[in-house]
Amino acid sequence: MEWKILFEDEAMLVARKPQGMPTQGDKTGDLDLLSALEAYCGHSLGLIHRLDRPVGGLLVFAKTKKAEASFAKQMQAGFLEKRYRAVLCGKLPEEKGTLVDYLKKNMRTNLSEVVSSKEKTGKKAVLHYEVLQAKKEENQDLSYVEIRLETGRHHQIRVQTSHAGAPIWGDKKYNPLFQKRGRTEIALWAFALKGYHPITNQPWYFEELPVEGIFQLFIGKS
């Protein structure tokens, strides 16, 4: 799957990042989405938020400094909403609920872990989820869920779902079932974005549901 532009005007651009492509340049030197879009536009873009390299989905970019400042304010106020679809191995505590944890990032391993709320370096992480469908495949319980982030912590969805007993399918970092497997695509996709236009202040919404890999088991569901 290639990167694709879903919307573009003089102030903002919404694009799909394919799984495996960095959001911005990293030490690998591989082509990243930000560089590809800047080459397409012919000028620099404001990077508003990021997705982990293995995660695909929608990202919004600012085309002007004014738009970038507007999106930064929306992020701080919680007006820029991001929703995800994921396939989990196992079951979450409830059909619909909220996970609240404190996360600490290990700079040496680039992994995060759940720590006590009394840990000074722990940062509060909150996500809301809804189980859309559950099924069993090869004696494995699978849960197809929608997730909305209230905070944006390092590897947040991956860490919190794993800690709750339902790690993401294909996650080689936080799902023990996949740590020794070959190449797999993580079943986590940023499918929806909602916010306000930085110039007109009109609401906008974009979505693109995941349809590849393990998600094919749930196509047409919810």
Q: Are 156 and 149 in contact (CB under 8 A)?
A: yes
Q: How far apart are CA 169 and CA 26, in angstroms?
A: 25
Q: What are phi and psi of 109, to 5 degrees?
A: -95, -10
Residue written as token pair 């304010």: 73
Dihedral over alpha carbons 213, 215, 217, 218 (to 10 degrees): -160
Burial 82-115 (b: 16+ CB within 10 A, else e): bbbbbbbbbebeeeeeebebbbbbeeeeeebbbe
52 is catalytic: yes
Catalytic pick from 26, 32, 52, 171?
52
Say how many C-beta atoms besides its own lie within 10 A of residue 43's C-beta.
9
User: Would you name the residues annotated as active-site residues?
Assistant: 52
